[in-house]
């Protein structure tokens, strides 16, 4: 009897060891393939999000699975097309208008800032020691070189972006096709996964997926809300200041505001300085006020929005955002809160124990 118990125990240990090896290999494969299959991953996540709408169509309108998936997919794709069309149209129209007025802006900058500065420099350089003059000229040359490198970098980035578009459109096509197929096959995929799990593991997995789904949707909602709030504040402020190209400039402010190391200050503060030297003190002060309002409002409500949307405390949200950005940069803004969410979810499912005492 004792020998049988030892045999069963050793056999279970071997089985568990094989399971952990298989799980480790699976995790490594997923990590390797994940960067190559982001479109498929996003399609699967979107299919899970749309599953609620599909089930409502099946339950309330008595649609078949195929018709419900087709209806939800068509509505989602139509929404993406409309948002993309109007966004591209507005941005393109204002970009064309801005590009057409760019020569006038450059001429105005040269006439109002560069030319007077050069004239004053010619007048005062005779009274300044030669060493100081040489140092200033070297600094000016270095500044021009940096500006030239920045312009070249921008043009190269623009060329890279244009070259990226065909591949991006192909990724979008793959994403939409995969989304439709995932939505059709989702019940079968769920059954296949459920049949390979024990009841205890299945309960934990359901809890983890529910928590991650709720937190993931909350995270996306928080990002959309904060970006929309920034856009509204920027658009309202620029409209009050009677600034042209408000849509494009507001979108640019939203993009730079996502990055804490830059923020709106990297865009609005130089603009305010330029307006000040243009003797437009009202615009300069208005831009500074707009910068302060956007920065304060976003930094105050950001941890609260993340905590309420994702189910973590404001302190945990703030720490995860800060440490994530310090370690991983822009990606850390998403990875930091995501790791906190995953850890908290695994803790709730008791897959990670934190109830030990020292």
Domain membership of residue 58 (yes or no) is yes
**Are 201 and 182 contained in the same domain?**
no
Q: What is the mean pLDDT of residues 81-100?
A: 74
Domain membership of residue 50 (yes or no) is yes
**Are 155 and 93 contained in the same domain?**
yes
**Are 216 and 74 contained in the same domain?**
no
**Are 201 and 348 contained in the same domain?**
yes
Q: How many domains does the chain have?
A: 2
Give the span between the Cα atoms of 102 and 158, in whole angstroms: 17
pLDDT of 281 higher than 70: yes
**Are 203 and 346 contained in the same domain?**
yes
Domain membership of residue 16 (yes or no) is no
Band the pLDDT of 70: cuts 50, 70, 90. very high
**Domain end point (choices 152, 186, 220):** 186
**Are 233 and 339 contained in the same domain?**
yes
**Are 176 and 202 contained in the same domain?**
no
Domain membership of residue 39 (yes or no) is no
Domain that holds residue 238: 197-352
**Domain end point (choices 136, 165, 186):** 186
pLDDT at 23: 66
Q: Is 122 exposed, middle or buried (0-12, 13-18, 19+ CB in 10 A)?
A: exposed
Residue with the two structure tokens 């494009």: 248
The mean of the pLDDT values for the chain is 76
Give the span between the Cα atoms of 97 and 244, in whole angstroms: 10
**Are 177 and 215 contained in the same domain?**
no
pLDDT: is 84 or 58 the higher one?
58
In the chain, what's the furthest Cα-to-Cα distance? 106
Band the pLDDT of 71: cuts 50, 70, 90. very high
Q: What is the mean pLDDT of residues 333-343?
A: 74
Residue in 34, 48, 46 with CA at minimum distance from that of residue 175: 46
Residue in 296, 323, 320, 294 with CA at minimum distance from that of residue 307: 320
**Are 174 and 261 contained in the same domain?**
no
Band the pLDDT of 222: cuts 50, 70, 90. confident
**Are 277 and 149 contained in the same domain?**
no
Domain membership of residue 6 (yes or no) is no
Highest-scoring range by mean pLDDT, 45-49, 195-199, 331-335: 45-49
Band the pLDDT of 181: cuts 50, 70, 90. very high
pLDDT: is 153 or 82 the higher one?
82
Q: What's the angle, vertex CA 89, arms to CA 83 and CA 90, rounded to 5?
A: 90
pLDDT at 336: 75
pLDDT: is 40 or 70 the higher one?
70
pLDDT at 218: 74
Band the pLDDT of 74: cuts 50, 70, 90. very high
With H, G, I as helix, E, B as strand and everything else as coil, classify residue 351. coil
17-21, 211-215, 257-261: least confident range: 257-261
Q: What is the mean pLDDT of residues 202-217?
A: 72
Domain membership of residue 37 (yes or no) is no
Give the span between the Cα atoms of 318 and 304, in whole angstroms: 9
pLDDT of 202 higher than 70: yes
**Are 158 and 300 contained in the same domain?**
no
Domain membership of residue 282 (yes or no) is yes
Domain membership of residue 18 (yes or no) is no
Q: What is the mean pLDDT of residues 153-173?
A: 75
Band the pLDDT of 297: cuts 50, 70, 90. confident
pLDDT: is 337 or 230 the higher one?
230
Residue in 263, 325, 353 with CA at minimum distance from that of residue 317: 325
**Are 182 and 323 contained in the same domain?**
no
71-79 CB contacts, 8 Å cutoff, 24+ apart: 72/183, 73/179, 73/180, 73/183, 76/46, 76/50, 76/179, 77/176
């Amino acid at each position: 009897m004792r020998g049988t118990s030892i045999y069963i125990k050793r056999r279970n240990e071997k089985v568990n060891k094989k399971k952990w090896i298989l799980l480790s290999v699976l995790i490594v494969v997923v990590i390797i393939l994940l960067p190559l299959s982001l479109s498929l991953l996003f399609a699967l996540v979107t299919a899970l999000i749309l599953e609620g709408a599909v089930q409502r169509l099946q339950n309330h309108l008595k649609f078949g699975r195929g018709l419900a998936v087709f209806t939800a997919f068509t509505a989602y794709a139509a929404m993406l097309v409309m948002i993309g069309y109007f966004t591209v149209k507005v941005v393109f129209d204002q970009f064309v208008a801005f590009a057409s007025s760019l020569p006038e802006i450059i001429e105005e900058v040269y006439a109002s800032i560069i030319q007077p500065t050069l004239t004053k420099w010619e007048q005062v350089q005779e009274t300044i020691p030669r060493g100081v003059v040489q140092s200033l000229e070297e600094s000016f040359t270095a500044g021009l070189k940096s500006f030239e490198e920045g312009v070249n970098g921008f043009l190269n980035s623009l060329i890279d972006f244009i070259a990226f578009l065909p591949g991006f459109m192909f990724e979008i096509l793959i994403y939409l096709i995969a989304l439709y197929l995932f939505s059709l096959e989702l019940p079968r995929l769920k059954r296949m996964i459920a049949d390979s799990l024990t009841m205890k593991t299945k309960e934990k997995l359901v809890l983890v997926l529910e928590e991650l789904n709720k937190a993931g949707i909350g995270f996306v909602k928080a990002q959309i809300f904060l970006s929309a709030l920034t856009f509204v504040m920027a658009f309202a402020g620029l409209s009050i200041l009677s600034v042209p190209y408000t849509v494009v400039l507001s979108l640019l402010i939203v993009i730079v505001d996502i990055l804490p190391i830059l923020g709106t200050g990297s865009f609005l503060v130089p603009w305010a300085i330029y307006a000040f030297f243009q003797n437009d003190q009202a615009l300069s002060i208005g831009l500074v006020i707009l910068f302060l309002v956007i920065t304060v409002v976003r930094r105050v409500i950001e941890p609260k929005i993340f905590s309420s949307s994702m189910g973590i405390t404001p302190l945990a949200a703030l720490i995860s955002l800060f440490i994530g950005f310090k370690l991983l940069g822009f990606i850390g803004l998403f990875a930091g809160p995501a790791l906190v969410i995953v850890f908290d979810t695994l803790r709730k499912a008791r897959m990670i124990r934190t109830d030990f005492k020292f």
